[in-house]
Structure 1
Amino acid sequence: MTTTTYAAAIDHLYNLGQELAPPAPNADGTIPERRKWDLAHMRTLVRALGDPQLQWPSVLIAGTNGKGSTAATLASILIAAGYRTGLYTSPHLVRVNERLQLNGLQIDDEDFARLYFHVDDTATSLVAEGSLPHPPSFFEVLTAVAFTWFAEQKVDIAVLEVGLGGRLDATNIVEPLISILTDIALDHQDYLGTTIAAITREKAGILRPNGTLITLPQHPEANQAIGEAAATLHLHAINAATYLPQTPPKNPVILSEVEGPAVAFASLNHPQGPLTPNHYPLTLNNEPLEVDSPLPGQHQQRNIALAIAAAVELRNPTGNNPSATRNQNSYNITNGAIEAGIRSTNWPGRLELLHFNEGPDLLLDVAHNPAGAWTLRAAIAQLPEDRPRTLLFSCLRDKSLEEMSRILFPLFDSSLDADPARRHDHIVFAPISNPRAAAVDDLLAAAHALSIPAHAAPHMAGALAQARAITPPNGLILATGSVYLIGELRHLALSV
């Protein structure tokens, strides 16, 4: 008899292998081709599950950076408006359950295990009868679990973050009320294409004929590709720039501290580390709207604007375009609900500062590609020059290590030829527990190529201990490079 516990479900899930992990060699040593994605397979699976994705409306979000922040903010707004709201995101920081949420709460272990084995049993039967050519992937299974859970929970709406690309992503079998495209940059080029235009066309695969698109002006190549798709599909296109602050925000965001035995979540308006706070006024329907977001960094203003634009469209469906027939729902979302939802957004690991009772602060950011590294660099530029800092870095080997190292490593260069203010800085590398992780030797080589001193640790706990030992109490440890790095570190830091 199959064991159907949560632990068994998680073990079984990870044995499927992650989509982007390199395929295991065949018995003869040859490397098999990467799996070809086909939405027909996902549709076959959910059809056997009763097409749960047809039982609730959705908003689908694609892009390179900012998808998760936009999704979390929009979901929080919908919850504040009183709607039973599903949220599906990826990847997770610590536990798989983080990816599936209802009204801000993760799916519990019992429901996850029950639904996981229901999906797995269904898939096994489909493979046995020849309806599926092979078992579904890690992400396909999780997506099917999420869709089934949302149907069981009778959600009023679900906010879905695309996993990879858009056109062939497992989430793209829904018929969204609204499609959102966040900022697009070069990433996952082995899968999506080598130019921003090609990547944009893949992500624009979430758009529907006569549907509603919300986006912001961005890279010219992305703008052109989005514009071509909008014209071809006769979209009702909404520019969220209306909801960006008209003047630089001045008021600080003061976050409530969550005390623990050794750590508190501190505001990034920390006296030793000021970063752009997101507290600013807007006007919506000729009424004032106060944005007060716990997500720091000026880049988050774009994600907040996308979420506000989506909330406005959900309460006023189709705008002035009668041909935009996709969204016929009308949600009662007041300005007050938008304010409350933005204020209560919870999305950890994004310029998140952990302040400890002893030792240096720890700043966590999931920047995992060059675009994210540039955004983080802009935030670092706002830190006090005289504050000692240590970079704790690791990344996946399919990321642009060389480019990310050129963007970030010079800001922590303690060599004699560097800025004297950085003489007490350090760089520490640590291995990530992931089959796609870059080797520590490769990380060291990237620093060596720039003639920047760096050290390596044997494991994540050792890296954090080393960083704490070499960083003065008034200094800052900044960890970045991968979602997986931040997940491991955050778990370690909060376990103290």
Structure 2
Amino acid sequence: MKSIVRRNNCCSSVLSSILLPGLFGKSLKIKPSSTALPTLSRKLETIPYSSPNSKFYSIHHHNNSSNQQNTITQLSEMASQEHITEKNYENALKILDSLISRKAPPHDANAHELSLEITKSYCDKIGLDHSKLQMIHVAGTKGKGSTCAFCEYILKKQGLKTGLFTSPHLVDIRERIRIDGGLVSKETFTNAFWYCYDRLTQETTSEQTFPMTTYFRLMVLVSLKAFIDEKVDVAIIEVGIGGKYDATNIIDPVVCGISSIGYDHMDLLGETITEISAQKAGIMKKDVPCITCPQKEEALASFIKTSEQTHAPLYMCPSIEDYERILNEKGSINKLEIGLKGEHQRWNAALAIALCKTFLERTNRSVSVSLSTIEENNILTKFNQCLKGEVCEPISQTPLTLANSNYETTTHKEELKNFLPFHLSETFIEGLKSTRWPGRCQIVNFPGLDFYIDGAHTDESLDLCRRWFVQCIDKNDQAPQEFEDISYISSDNEENSSLTFQRRIDAQNSESSKDHKKVLVFNYTGVRDPRKLLASLTTSKEYFDYVIFCPTDSQKNSLVNKSTGMSKAESEKLNNLKKLWIELTGDESKVSIFNSINQVLDFVWDMKSQQVSVLVTGSLYLIGDFSRKLHKIHRNNHKN
């Protein structure tokens, strides 16, 4: 069965042959839960979603009954051509595939507000009581996914059954929903999907209507249902885009966190750090602790303003060095080993420690480790009471042993609360050490050929990625991150079957250069400034022997289809990247455009050099495609 997605300038023309009556053939009905809802049928609905490779938006435009009727007619005709009767995993993917669109979102604040009302009403309609879950909610521009991963591993080591919802996925949609550290089973995913789908498409007696669901919102509902079914002890929820109007913001978390803020999705969240930060701070809830890390001054001011408006206590987390200082004083450890490499991951780890500590305290699961003095232990007891929301005496002074260096250096001591560092238990230490997060600071080793894969896609995160790569090469750090045992959806077995270990060894043993060759492979997606992205990498322009721009294989508007060639728009984008690199560096000798990832792999595989290091970054599409192919190559070679 072949999926077809048509796109033109009309918002309501996103069609697919994989459609079912009900969800796609009419608007669903809901009970009004807001005074704004009666005007819903005339609003544009903008809901964040992520395709396997995307963080774009799905839009459904319902201007009038005539427009709506035409859409229903078109969808009904296509639905009659293809009938899906079996409620299985494959058909669930096809339905999700039909919801994906890459239309540009409207700038309509009312539509954003209505999106949360719709999501809440969907929960009511399908009977999804997510209050059963104890949750951690994390927003941010950079590092929110890594922070969630650290939380997952720490709490798993604590003995809790964990659930983790993140986006986007790199290869397999089940990466978005993890249970106890692994991908959700196909059975659990399938049952949760059809539970939600069946109830969303049921007839109701209410006269109120609203647009059909979107990809991201449906995935949020499916994840919550899966977590309830699996009876997880903690559900860690990563925000999709922004926070305030994100579909995940219907939850009532035990604690929330905000990682580092930077410029991204500016067409949606605002042009300034203040505007972007206000959207991120929208996840704050009354009496729910919110923990953040050192931020730009404008971001911190925005957080403080929202904290005061919502009556959410705002804490500044300690640095990882503060925890190391305490461990060192106790003679336990000098430096914590962090499973995710790169200095910036230490910032994310520090935020995760504070989030996990708060969650454990507020759910009465904490296991404290005594410190050296009675004074220290008494102060930490008072601090724990504050975290729980109990009435507690203010902590006027803390000993130097419990100093929070991030708090001490802020200019907002009056407005922020001081999160005290504590002696980490073995569960925290082992959780940090064992954390894995595919596609983020990941190293994949082949004979004399190492791939450094990182999903950085903003100018600031690309600068951090560049530093990580340079540091790894300079320190000869090639420790690999193991592949997860995933049967990736792929048809690449044949086209990549010639990329064997022996072929690479032969290239090494030929009359090869002793030089260490370094290759940059780059692409980007979305509404971003390519000049700023490349500028972050050209700081190390002399470092790279080759710079390659290439298209992705994944079809950006489909879960199940792969691209069969480079489009004119993609070709123009890659040529523009080449032009910009030459402008920024003044060197055109190193830069090339390749027509496919397979051509890149062939090129580096046969490179006559003892050691080749390839940095792949800039786009999660690109990262996902490389991960899928390298996983296949690695697995096939080990089979042989």
TM-score > 0.5 by shorter chain: yes
Q: Return the offset for 1:129.
A: 5.6
Q: Return the offset for 1:243.
A: 3.5
Contact 1:428 1:463 in 2 (8 A): no
Q: Which region of structure 1 is more displaced relative to structure 2, 468-477 or 120-129?
A: 120-129
Contact 1:395 1:432 in 2 (8 A): no
- The structure-2 alpha-carbon separation of the partners of 1:182 and 1:127, relative to structure 1 and needing over 3 Å to count, comes to farther
> Does residue 339 of the first structure (1) align with residue 429 of the second (2)?
yes
Give the aligned residue type for 2:632.
Answer: S
Higher fraction of helix: 2
Q: Return the offset for 1:431.
A: 3.0
Give the aligned residue type for 1:47.
Answer: D
- The structure-2 alpha-carbon separation of the partners of 1:131 and 1:96, relative to structure 1 and needing over 3 Å to count, comes to farther
CA distance in 2, matches of 1:4, 1:445: 45
In structure 2, the residue matched to 1:77 is 154
CA distance in 1, matches of 2:294, 2:207: 46
Question: After superposition, what is the alpha-carbon deviation per residue over 1:4-40, rounded to whole angstroms, capped at 9, x for unaligned?
Answer: 221111121111015xx2269xxxxxx9999944101
> Does residue 63 of the first structure (1) align with residue 111 of the second (2)?
no
Instruction: Report the secondary structure of 1:48's partner residue.
Output: helix
Give the aligned residue type for 1:39.
Answer: L
Q: Return the offset for 1:495.
A: 0.8
In structure 1, the residue matched to 2:529 is 400
Give the aligned residue type for 2:188.
Answer: D
- The structure-2 alpha-carbon separation of the partners of 1:284 and 1:143, relative to structure 1 and needing over 3 Å to count, comes to farther
In structure 2, the residue matched to 1:360 is 449
Q: Unaligned stretches of 5+ in structure 2?
A: 1-83, 363-382, 392-422, 476-514, 558-566, 634-640
Contact 2:361 2:388 in 1 (8 A): no
Give the aligned residue type for 2:93.
Answer: I
> Does residue 183 of the first structure (1) align with residue 183 of the second (2)?
no
Instruction: Report the secondary structure of 1:293's partner residue.
Output: coil
Identity of aligned residues (%): 27
Q: Return the offset for 1:363.
A: 0.7
CA distance in 1, matches of 2:340, 2:556: 30
- The structure-2 alpha-carbon separation of the partners of 1:489 and 1:130, relative to structure 1 and needing over 3 Å to count, comes to farther
CA distance in 1, matches of 2:580, 2:227: 49
Q: Unaligned stretches of 5+ in structure 1?
A: 25-30, 247-279, 327-332, 413-418
CA distance in 2, matches of 1:168, 1:186: 18
Give the aligned residue type for 1:239.
Answer: M
Q: Return the offset for 1:119.
A: 1.4
CA distance in 2, matches of 1:52, 1:10: 24
Q: Return the offset for 1:433.
A: 2.0
In structure 2, the residue matched to 1:244 is 320
Contact 1:431 1:458 in 2 (8 A): no
Give the aligned residue type for 1:281.
Answer: E
Instruction: Report the secondary structure of 2:337's partner residue.
Output: strand
Give matches, 1:14-163, under 5 Å: 14-18=97-101, 21-22=102-103, 36-37=111-112, 38-125=115-202, 131-163=208-240
Give the aligned residue type for 1:283.
Answer: I
- The structure-2 alpha-carbon separation of the partners of 1:411 and 1:110, relative to structure 1 and needing over 3 Å to count, comes to same
Instruction: Report the secondary structure of 1:296's partner residue.
Output: coil
Give matches, 1:199-348, under 5 Å: 199-240=276-317, 242-245=318-321, 281-283=324-326, 288=332, 291-317=336-362, 319-321=384-386, 324=389, 335-348=425-438
Residue number among 519, 525, 535 corresponding to 1:390 in the alignment: 519
In structure 2, the residue matched to 1:494 is 631
Q: Return the offset for 1:209.
A: 1.5
| Larger-gyration structure (1/2) | 2
CA distance in 1, matches of 2:571, 2:615: 18
CA distance in 1, matches of 2:196, 2:610: 50
Instruction: Report the secondary structure of 2:285's partner residue.
Output: coil
Instruction: Report the secondary structure of 1:363's partner residue.
Output: strand
CA distance in 2, matches of 1:292, 1:323: 29
RMSD: 3.0
CA distance in 2, matches of 1:52, 1:40: 16
Give the aligned residue type for 2:458.
Answer: N
Q: Return the offset for 1:127.
A: 8.5
- The structure-2 alpha-carbon separation of the partners of 1:23 and 1:195, relative to structure 1 and needing over 3 Å to count, comes to closer
In structure 2, the residue matched to 1:7 is 90
CA distance in 1, matches of 2:86, 2:108: 32
CA distance in 2, matches of 1:320, 1:471: 63
CA distance in 2, matches of 1:471, 1:159: 46
In structure 2, the residue matched to 1:439 is 570
Question: After superposition, what is the alpha-carbon deviation per residue over 1:403-462, rounded to whole angstroms, capped at 9, x for unaligned?
Answer: 1012214634xxxxxx4x65x333232235243797232122122134243222222222
| TM-score between both structures, scaled by the size of structure 2 | 0.64
CA distance in 1, matches of 2:386, 2:127: 33
- The structure-2 alpha-carbon separation of the partners of 1:44 and 1:286, relative to structure 1 and needing over 3 Å to count, comes to farther
